[in-house]
Amino acid sequence: MTRLLFRAAPLTLAALVMAEPALAQEAAEPAADAVGGGTAYILNTLLFLIGGFLVMWMAAGFAMLEAGLVRSKNTSVQCIKNIGLYSIAGLMFWVVGYSIAYPGFGEDSLGLFGIAGFPYAMQGVGEADLGTGYSVASDWFFQMVFCATTASIVSGTVAERVKIVPFFLFVVVLTAVIYPVVVSWEWGGGYLDSVHGFSDFAGSTLVHSTGGWAALVGALIIGPRLGRYGADGKVNVFPGANIPLATLGTFILWLGWFGFNGASQLAMGTVGDVSDVSKIFVNTNMAAAAGVVVAIVATLVRYKKADVTMALNGALAGLVAITAEPLAPTVGQAIVIGGIGGLLPVIFVPLLDKLKIDDVVGAIPVHLVAGIWGTMIVPWTGDATFGGQAVGVLLTAVWASAASAVVWLALKYTIGVRPSEEEEMNGLDIGETGIEAYPEFARTA
C-alpha cells in the first residue's frame, strides 16, 4: 500500500461528512461519527507525533539491547554508534532521503528511481496545508524515525569489530539512498505498489528486511569477530555483558512498536481509523507475547532451560512478523503469526553460527528472517498475493544486498572497516572512543 495515495483522503472524507448539514438543510443532524476537518487534521497530525516519538524511542531500545549483548570492552563504541546513527539518519533523510522515498513518480515512470525537490520544504510558522489532512512536518518526522530504525538493525549484527568512522559512512549511504529507494517502490507509490500490489503495512520488508540484508551482507564481508569460530568448527560463546540492559532495550522496542505499527495507520481523524489503530495495538502486543512464550517453550524443550536472550529475541521477532500486516488478522491469527516469528530465532541463531555468519545480537533472524515470514504470510489475512509479496521480498533482497555490498566493499578496500587485531582483542572502546563503559568494574578472567 502506498503511503502517498492516502494524502488527500481523510480530509476529503471528513470534510464531506462535515459539509453534509450545509449542503442539505433538511438533513441537519450530523452523522454520529462526524469529525470536523480541522479536528481530523489535528488528530492525524497528533498520531504522527505520538507515533514518531515512540519510534524515536526505539533508537534507545536498540542502543540498550546492543549495549547489553556485546562484551563490556566494546560497549561504549556501541553506545556512540547508536546515538550517532540516529543523528545521521535524521540529517540524511532530510538532505535527500525523503525526496527519494516519496518522489512523486510521473505517469510514464516505471517507479523504480525518482527524486522530489529537495531540501524538503515545510510550511512557515502558523501555516498548514489542509489539502494533506495532516502537518507535513509531522509526516516527515514519522518517516524519518523509520529510516533510523533501519540503520539500528545493522549496528547490532556487525558490532564488536567495525570501526566507528566506516560504520557511520555506511549509515550515511543506507539512510540517504538504500532505504529510501526501497520505500519509494512501495510507500512512495512506485513499482511494487503500482505493479505488484505488494503489501507491507508498517515495514516488515521495507524497514526490517532492508536493515537485515544490509546487516547480513556486512557480516559476510566484514567477517566474524576474532576467535568466534574455532578451527574445529567450535562456536565460542561471547556472552553479552549486561542482560538487564538488553531486557530494557527489548521493552523499549516493544513500547515503541505501538507507534511503529499503530501510527502506520497514518490517520486517526475518523472513528474507523482510531478503531483500527486500537486493533493494531492489540495485535502488535499479542504477536510479541506469543513470540516470547514460544521462544521460552522452545528453548525449554530443546535446552531444558528458558533462554532469556531467546525470549527477548522472540518478542522482537514476533513484533517484526506482525509488522507487515498488523490490522487485518484476528487476535488469534496475530498470535499464530507472532508465535511462529518467535520460533525463528531459536532455529536461525544456531544455523547462522553453523554457517560462520557472526551476528552479535541475532538481528538477522529477528529482522530479516521474521521480516520475510511476516511479509509472506500477509495473504493469509490481508489483501495481497503470494506472488506479489515474493516479488517485494526478492527485489528488496537484491537491491539492499547489492547496494550494501558495494558500500561495505568500498569501505573495506579504502579506509578499512576493521580495527587491528590487537585493538579488537583489547576491545574497541579503548582505541576508538577512549572511554571504557565500566572502568571501575574488575573483569573475570
Helices assigned H by DSSP within 197-242? 210-222
Q: Is 156 in the site for a copy of itself (CB under 8 A)?
A: no
Helix (H) or strand (E) holding 284: helix 271-303
Check if the beta carbon of residue 328 is closer than 8 Å to that of residue 264: no
Q: Is 241 in the site for a copy of itself (CB under 8 A)?
A: yes
> Residue 132 carries which DSSP code?
G
Q: Smaller CB distance to a copy of itself: residue 242 or 389?
A: 242
Q: Smaller CB distance to a copy of itself: residue 113 or 251?
A: 251
Please state the closest distance from residue 213 (CB atom) to a copy of itself, in A: 25
Q: Is 42 in the site for a copy of itself (CB under 8 A)?
A: yes
Q: Smaller CB distance to a copy of itself: residue 1 or 216?
A: 1
Q: Is 428 in the site for a copy of itself (CB under 8 A)?
A: no
Using alpha carbons, select from 174, 148, 124 the residue that is nearest to residue 56. Answer: 148
- The contact pattern for a copy of itself, residues 402-421, with x = CB under 8 A and - = no contact, is --------------------
Using alpha carbons, select from 95, 100, 91, 89 the residue that is nearest to residue 182. Answer: 100
Neighbours of 34 (CB within 10 A): 16
Query: Interacting stretch for a copy of itself, rule CB under 8 A, among 102-110, 209-217, 395-403, 437-445?
Result: 437-445
Which parts of 351-380 interact with a copy of itself (CB under 8 A)?
A: none
Please state the closest distance from residue 405 (CB atom) to a copy of itself, in A: 26
Check if the beta carbon of residue 53 is closer than 8 Å to that of residue 148: no
Which parts of 96-125 interact with a copy of itself (CB under 8 A)?
A: 119-120, 122-123, 125
Query: Interacting stretch for a copy of itself, rule CB under 8 A, among 18-26, 212-220, 389-397, 399-407?
Result: 18-26
Q: Smaller CB distance to a copy of itself: residue 203 or 318?
A: 318
Check if the beta carbon of residue 238 is closer than 8 Å to that of residue 225: yes
- Cell numbers that stand for 431 in this block: 582505541
Q: Is 261 in the site for a copy of itself (CB under 8 A)?
A: no
Please state the closest distance from residue 76 (CB atom) to a copy of itself, in A: 5
Q: What does the alpha-carbon distance between residue 247 and residue 311 come to, in Å, rounded to a whole number?
A: 9
Our CA angle for 23, 26, 28, nearest 5°, is 75
Maximum pairwise Cα distance, the chain:
85
Residues in contact with a copy of itself, total (CB under 8 A)? 143
**Among residues 10, 52, 224, 341, the one that binds a copy of itself under rule CB under 8 A:** 52
Which parts of 294-333 interact with a copy of itself (CB under 8 A)?
A: 296, 300, 303, 305-309, 311-312, 315, 327-328, 330-332
Residue 184 Rama label (left phi>0; alpha psi -120 to 50; beta):
alpha
Q: Smaller CB distance to a copy of itself: residue 61 or 111?
A: 61
Which parts of 191-220 interact with a copy of itself (CB under 8 A)?
A: none
Q: Is 243 in the site for a copy of itself (CB under 8 A)?
A: yes
Neighbour-count burial for 217-246, b at 16+ CB within 10 Å, e otherwise = bbbbbbbbbeebbeeeeeeeebebbbeebb
Q: Is 440 in the site for a copy of itself (CB under 8 A)?
A: yes
Q: Is 143 in the site for a copy of itself (CB under 8 A)?
A: no
List of residues 6+ apart from 69 with CB closer than 8 A? 156, 159, 240, 246, 309, 360, 361
Amino acid identity at 436: E
> Residue 241 carries which DSSP code?
S
Please state the closest distance from residue 39 (CB atom) to a copy of itself, in A: 5
